[in-house]
Amino acid sequence: MIDLKSNLDHLESLAADFHSDGHAQTATDFRTAIMDIQNLRDYAERLERNNNQMSCELNDLTNQRKGIASALLAAVYPDLDRRIDEHVKTAFNKNERLDAFEARIEAVEHFKDDMTTDDISGLEQMIDDRIETAACDNDRDDETRDTVRDMIRDGDIIVSIDLS
């Protein structure tokens, strides 16, 4: 709120005194200055109200965005679980080193369980990082990683989200 240091009533009284003393131009200048001060005060108050209203609206939008992000994440989880299960079954049929692959999938599932809305974009990178840093005991592991990586790049592995 604007705190005026000037007493507008006192200024109006001075303008009336100047006018009665025959200084009409000075009285007019005082009254013009009083109107300017009142207009600026009113404008500042409107700006402050608008600022408060926009802050409330911004808070509402932020809360809505968080709610939408949580809903989207909740919608992604079931499909993500199903897709992981499908790919695990496929990989188990092709991979001779089931224990190592199962450990990698469990790491992905633990990451998924701890995921927040900001982590979704990092999931693919985390999977790639886990695959690249895993210990390789034979060429079969390298072939499996390359096959899975190619399937992701070629679009054979796709995660879709149904928001209905």
pLDDT one-digit tens code per residue, 105-121: 777 677 666 666 565 55
Instruction: Judge whether 122 lies within some domain.
Output: yes
Q: How many domains does the chain have?
A: 1
Instruction: Judge whether 20 lies within some domain.
Output: no
Instruction: Judge whether 119 lies within some domain.
Output: yes
Residue 127 lies in domain: 74-154
- 111 by Cβ neighbours in 10 Å (0-12 / 13-18 / 19+) ranks as middle
Instruction: Judge whether 35 lies within some domain.
Output: no
pTM for this one? 0.41
48 or 96, greater pLDDT: 48
State the residue for tokens 């409330």: 56
Q: What is the mean pLDDT of the chain?
A: 77
Instruction: Judge whether 38 lies within some domain.
Output: no
CA distance 111 to 126: 9
At residue 137 the predicted structure's pLDDT band, cuts being 50, 70 and 90, is very low
Instruction: Judge whether 104 lies within some domain.
Output: yes
Residue 129 has pLDDT above 80, yes or no: no
Instruction: Judge whether 85 lies within some domain.
Output: yes
Q: Angle, nearest 10°, between helix axes 24-94 and 139-154?
A: 130
Answer yes or no: are the C-beta atoms of 45 and 1 closer than 8 Å. yes
